[in-house]
Amino acid sequence: MAKKVKQEVALVEPEAPVDIPTGALEITDDIEQDLVKYEGAGTSTKAEDNLIPIVNLLQDLSPQVKDRNPEYVEGAKPGDFYIKGLNLLIPGEDGFKFQPCAFRTAVNEWVPRDDGGGFVASYEEMPEDAVQTVNDKGKKITKSPRGTDYIDTRYHSGFLEYQDIRIPAVLSFSSTGHTVSRGWMVLLNNTIVEVKGIRRKAPSWFKKYKIKSKIKQKKNQEWFMCDIVPAEFVQSRDQREEGKTLYEAFEVGDKTIDHSTAESTKDEDAPF
């Protein structure tokens, strides 16, 4: 029987874009004393309180690009990147830098968009009740007896950098996006650093990548996919430490993916 990983966690989305503070705190004697005495006070280390949002690559059917939809985001267009909850919109042609830190795969269960959409659960492997079928466009899909969709998904978690923002985020790849994710993994597996004459494969968080969107066409269909190219090695020791810490947090379960920030799509939308 497939192991269920996580149930949906509902979050309240802010009505306006979040102002993410980036300025440094001036350390005075009293601040230093409070930091030592009350470090972490008022916060939670539970996994359910430490969710990492998913970066959505908007498609033609995404509600954020439809001006009459309640989820419409002003200025959003297909090919842009969007993080729900933070209400952060990034133009696809600008893109962002990403420092990958952790990787995992899962089978996610979704309510079809035509039935209202929504995340149901995540599994480590395909559930035993999965049934292969064909949709009205002749494409093979996997369904549950409840009519929900099972979708194989690949997750790359790390730090997103855009303008003066640096935040933990997750890139999810399903359907045709698997090809993009596997291509990225080739780049990761071939990042070699020579140390004292010995060639070693670097941890994923040793390098940043530039991610933009590009259009993909097949027959009479077109959709947007990620275009991922190496940017630079991470020279900052602090950022490498952050990357290692995020990797370890995912490994022990202190951090988890916030599926409520994912865009529910039909498989033929070819989401990434």
Q: Which residues pair with 201 in a beta bridge?
A: 192
The whole-angstrom distance between residue 238's C-alpha and the CA centroid of its chain comes to: 22
User: DSSP 3-state assignment of 152?
Assistant: strand
Determine how β-strand 51-57 pairs with β-strand 131-134: unpaired
pLDDT in tens, 159-173: 999 999 999 999 999
Report CA Rg, the chain. Answer: 20
Cα angle: 34, vertex 39, 41; to 5 degrees:
100
- pTM to 2 decimals? 0.80
pLDDT in tens, 184-225: 999 999 999 998 899 999 999 999 999 999 999 887 788 999
Greater confidence (138 vs 3) lies with: 138
pLDDT score recorded for residue 15: 37
**What is d(CA 133, CA 216) in angstroms, rounded to the nearest whole number?**
25
**What is d(CA 204, CA 186) in angstroms, rounded to the nearest whole number?**
11
pLDDT in tens, 217-257: 887 788 999 999 999 999 999 999 999 999 999 999 888 88
Determine how β-strand 88-90 pairs with β-strand 81-83: antiparallel
**What is d(CA 163, CA 217) in angstroms, rounded to the nearest whole number?**
30
